[in-house]
Structures are given as structure tokens and as C-alpha cells.
Amino acid sequence: MKFGSSNIVLLLFFIFLSVSFALPSKKFQHKPCKHLVLYFHDIIYNGKNAANATSAIVAAPEGANRTILAGQFHFGNVAVFDDPITLDNNLHSPPVGRAQGLYIYDTKNTFTAWLGFSFVLNSTDYQGTINFIGADPLMNKTRDISIVGGTGDFFMHRGIATIMTDAFEGEVYFRLNVDIKFYECW
């Protein structure tokens, strides 16, 4: 068989094709490499529920106390939390870990928060931590925050978490649905 010009063109085309697949295709690859859906449950201390509370107001603007969320959409309240994480929306399901960190109410004319926290997972499925920060405009049905790192089974992972308020009872209990999509998995 002779190897004619057309064959060379074909070969070059094939090479280019291969190489283009080899190029980092991050821009177009927005499919998660790992996906988890979890719930966490926050019961804020109000002066009467010490036994059940999983979070507490620890800072407030001048004039506000730390057992009642501040006026003006709770602007300036900082809460520290250690909330159970569950696989479904039942507060009493066996926890697979704890959500630990802080949230900060940060607007005077609507409900928004800023979040800095970790998921500390300790189950048969997952051992490790996931670290989150981001803005949480509470009145939106869904809010995206950043997954900025992880350890253990989530070593060096990055991604996006979509948060939804799954339940809200008075100013004492809320439950968040957290849709965790990792796009960088290592």
C-alpha cells in the first residue's frame, strides 16, 4: 500500500482530534464528578431551649441582646452552629455528620446571610470534611455558594453547593437542603 497525501491529511486530522480531546476542556465540562444531597437542621437558642438548641447568637449590633434575633432583618447577628446533617429531611434521622461554623445576617432591608462553615462527615459512605463560604440571599428559592476545599474523601475538592430552605418554623428552627456538586475531584 502506498501512503498518499490524502492519508497524511487523514492522519493529521486524527492527531488534531486526539489533541483537542487532550486539551483541558474545563470550559465545557460542567458535569459534576461527584454529587451528594444532604440536609442540615438548625435550632437557635432563644433562652428557653438550651437542651435542644444547636446554634446560638454570639454577636449583635449595639442595643440588641443575644437571645432574640435583632430587628432590621436580624442585621448584625452572628450565630455559631453545630447542626446535625441527615440523609433525608427528618431531624430525627441518624446524623451522618455535623455542619459547623457561623452565619451572619448582613442586610437591613431583607433577609440575607453570609456563611462560613464545614461539613464534618463521619459515616460508612464518607469520611472527611467539606468547606463552604458564600452569600445566602435567604428569600431566593435556591442560592449557590462555593465549596472551596475538602479533606479526607474530599481531598482538594472544589465545587458549588445549591442551598434551599426546606422548612422554616418561627425564628427557632430551619432546615436546609444542600445539593453538593463537585466539579474538581482529584
Are 63 and 76 a contacting pair, CB within 8 Å? no
Does residue 60 bind its own copies (CB under 8 A)?
Answer: yes
In the list 150, 174, 176, 178, the residue contacting its own copies (rule: CB under 8 A) is 150
Quote the CA–CA distance of 93 and 72 in Å, as a whole number: 35
Binding segment for its own copies (CB under 8 A), chosen from 35-43, 60-68, 86-94, 167-175, is 60-68
- Whole-angstrom distance, CA of residue 127 vs CA of residue 150: 11
Helices marked H in the chain — which ranges?
5-22, 71-74
Which has the closest alpha carbon to 126: 98, 154, 146? 154
172 contacts its own copies (rule: CB under 8 A): no
Name which of 183, 156, 186 is nearest 34 in CA terms: 183
The size of the chain, in residues, is: 186
Site residues (CB under 8 A) for its own copies, limited to 86-125: 98, 100-102, 104-108, 112, 114, 116-118, 120
182 three-state secondary structure: strand
**Is there binding between residue 168 and its own copies (CB under 8 A)?**
no
User: Binders of its own copies among 68-87, rule CB under 8 A?
Assistant: 75-78, 80-82
Looking at the Cβ atoms of 12 and 37, the one nearer to its own copies is: 12
**Residue number, 19 or 125, with CB nearest to its own copies:** 19
C-alpha distance across the termini of the chain, in Å: 46
Amino acid at 121: L
Nearer to its own copies among residue 58 and residue 89 (C-beta) = 58
Residue 145 interacts with its own copies (CB under 8 A)? yes
C-beta closer to its own copies: residue 90 or 137: 137
> Does residue 153 bind its own copies (CB under 8 A)?
no
